[in-house]
Amino acid sequence: MRPDTGLRLGITLGWAIALVSFFRYWEVVLRLRGLLFWTVVFLALYLANAAAIHGAALRSLTHPVWRAATIWGMLVLITLAGHLLVPSVRLFGLPVPTIALVGALDVGFPLWIMLRGLTETWPGRERWLVLGAIPIYLLVLMGAFVIRTPGRAYDGPLAPLTDQEQALRDALERHVRMLSDTIGERHAGTYPALVGARDYLANELARAGFAVDTQAFVVEGQWYHNLEATVPGSSRAEESIVVGAHYDTAEGTPGADDNATGAAALLELARQLAGARPARTLRFVFFPNEEPPFFATDQMGSWAYAARAAARGDRIPAMISLESIGFYSTAAGSQRYPFPFSLFYPDRGDFIAFVGNLDSRGLMRDAIGAFRRSVRFPSQGAAAPAWIPGISWSDHQSFWLHGYQAIMISDTAPFRNPHYHQPGDTADRLDFERMARVVAGLLTVIEQLAGS
């Protein structure tokens, strides 16, 4: 062993710890002061790495380390300037805030910097051994932090619906068809339809016996409304379980799966729990403006709600976002994932997914555990870094950004449904029997989170 092998191993251990911290604590950042935070942290680590390896040679400003650091520094400045000068771009025909893309760069830049640091640390064959170990290390981290869930995913035949589940199935289909077939496309560009959806939901809540609270907010001179139905708690009434769903659609789609199914499920969950006496307060909230161009901005309905709750100091131990829960397929290859999830999860889109960030891992495990104990239906769970595509794609993100733990319940939408954000996202393509089983299981999840 060379005399400096101990130093190189120490540096490699430092990068391993930094990578664990990065995966554990990286979160979606939508404020300028937090952008590219991890890039700056890893750049500082790289300079410390270089100082330990190269020593006095770094006194020369022409050293390659300084050239690399200058390039990264310039990329950071260019990225921030680009965000300020171009606040949004169009992807797949839809406007996307550039601040969300900048957040994605705060994944690529740190990993690039780390690889450069390790490349400079290890010479020759040892370099390739260390770099080759990184994917194995990442898979171990994934197994430890991301995919472990309590219980076993059900994988068997589905029993016939009970009479109660059949009634639930019919109610869900009625709501979905009203929102997607009768009312149709619902967003800022079809504002009367969005108002029609809001009024339908408010009337259905009133029929269930709720006094509906409306939270109004203004976006670009236009009024939008969150709707809230509350079941008061008892022994722990100061704590609230929030269950939410957005009722708007993307442009050019009737939005049956995304997200008439979530709104329909929320209506039926509220109706069935209207007379409950939970320990914690239950709040059922319908949000507008989840879809682009509002997604990942403070113009989302869920952002307005979470911001107001945080300003009041509301105690919300759990938020559940119901996001696209009606599309299922038992065909092989019908389910896709961002790499490397396909190594761990089934390729049939017949399950419901419980998804959270790493900070909400405990909530995700509690929720999927309760679901698996209550219903025999396929389910998969993941508590993953929020930068992985799909993990933050709904209203639960707004609650993360205001300090609350939150998860998403979803059929995985674009990773399964070929009609996602398309005119073909219609009610006739949905599986309401499976959806009813999911909602029946979620009823137990909410009851257990709320306590008795």
| Reduced 3-state DSSP string for 107-128 | HHHHHHHHHHHHHHHCCHHHHH
What pLDDT sits at residue 387?
74
Question: Which residue spans within 30-147 are E strands per DSSP?
Answer: 88-91, 94-97
What pLDDT sits at residue 397?
94
In percent, how much of the chain has pLDDT > 90? 67
C-alpha separations of 124 from 118, 120, 135, 136, 225 in Å: 12, 10, 19, 20, 62
C-alpha separations of 344 from 347, 416, 421, 426 in Å: 10, 16, 27, 30
Q: Would you say residue 158 lies in a domain?
A: no
Tell me the pairing of strands 280-287 and 222-231.
Answer: antiparallel
pLDDT at 253 over 70: yes
pLDDT at 88 over 50: yes
* Helix or strand run (H / E) with residue 239: strand 236-246
What pLDDT sits at residue 180?
98
Whole-angstrom distance, CA of residue 7 vs CA of residue 396: 43
**Which range (30-39, 103-112, 216-225) has the least confidence?**
30-39
- Residues 11, 88: one domain? yes
Tokens representing residue 102 in the block? 């900048």
pLDDT-derived band of residue 84, with 50, 70 and 90 as boundaries? confident
pLDDT at 210 over 90: yes
Query: Which region holds residue 184: left if phi is over 0, alpha if psi is between -120 and 50, else beta?
Result: left
Q: Would you say residue 358 lies in a domain?
A: yes
- Residues 223, 122: one domain? no
- Residues 79, 185: one domain? no
Tell me the pairing of strands 379-383 and 352-356.
Answer: parallel
- Residues 105, 185: one domain? no
- Residues 184, 323: one domain? yes
Q: Would you say residue 252 lies in a domain?
A: yes
- Residues 210, 326: one domain? yes
Q: What is the mean pLDDT of the chain?
A: 90
With the CA atoms of 207, 211, 216 and 222 taken in that order, what torsion angle do they form, in degrees rounded to the nearest 10?
20
- Residues 294, 378: one domain? yes
Q: Would you say residue 97 lies in a domain?
A: yes
Q: Which CATH number fits the domain that encloses residue 177?
A: 3.40.630.10
Whole-angstrom distance, CA of residue 190 vs CA of residue 52: 60
Question: Mean per-residue pLDDT for 1-15?
Answer: 81
DSSP helix, strand, coil percent of the chain (3-state; round to 5): 50, 15, 35
pLDDT-derived band of residue 137, with 50, 70 and 90 as boundaries? confident
- Select from 351, 332, 331, 361 the least CA-distant residue to 412: 351
Structural domain total, the chain: 2
- Residues 233, 330: one domain? yes
pLDDT in tens, 315-334: 999 999 999 999 999 999 99
What is the pTM for the complete model shown? 0.83
Whole-angstrom distance, CA of residue 379 vs CA of residue 84: 42
Task: Render the burial of 130-139: b for 16+ CB within 10 Å, e for the rest.
Answer: beeebeeeee
DSSP conformation letters of 207-223: HTT---EEEEEEETTEE
Q: Would you say residue 103 lies in a domain?
A: yes
pLDDT at 31 over 60: no
Long-range pairs, 389-393, Cβ under 8 A, ≥24? 389/338, 390/338, 390/355, 390/414, 390/415, 391/355, 391/356, 391/357, 392/28, 392/357, 393/295, 393/323
Q: Would you say residue 153 lies in a domain?
A: no
C-alpha separations of 203 from 197, 226, 229 in Å: 10, 14, 11
As a whole number of Å, the end-to-end CA separation of the chain is 63
Surface-to-core class of residue 377, CB atoms within 10 Å of its CB (0-12 exposed, 13-18 middle, 19+ buried): buried
Contact 89, 95 (CB under 8 A): yes
pLDDT at 92 over 50: no
DSSP at 238: E
What pLDDT sits at residue 78?
82
The larger pLDDT score, comparing residue 440 to residue 146, is at 440
- Residues 296, 196: one domain? yes
- Residues 77, 106: one domain? yes
What pLDDT sits at residue 3?
46
pLDDT in tens, 369-389: 999 999 999 999 999 887 788
Q: Would you say residue 334 lies in a domain?
A: yes
Domain boundary among 95, 116, 145: 145
pLDDT at 274 over 90: yes
What is residue 452's three-state secondary structure? coil
412 C-beta neighbours (distance < 10 Å), count: 26
pLDDT at 1 over 60: no
- Residues 20, 51: one domain? yes
What is residue 1's three-state secondary structure? coil
Question: Mean per-residue pLDDT for 141-146?
Answer: 76
What pLDDT sits at residue 252?
96
pLDDT at 217 over 60: yes
- Residues 211, 290: one domain? yes
Domain boundary among 145, 172, 202: 145
What are phi and psi for residue 307, nearest 5 degrees? -65, -45
pLDDT-derived band of residue 35, with 50, 70 and 90 as boundaries? low
Q: Would you say residue 151 lies in a domain?
A: no
Instruction: Determine the structural domain holding residue 53 and report its residue range.
Output: 5-145
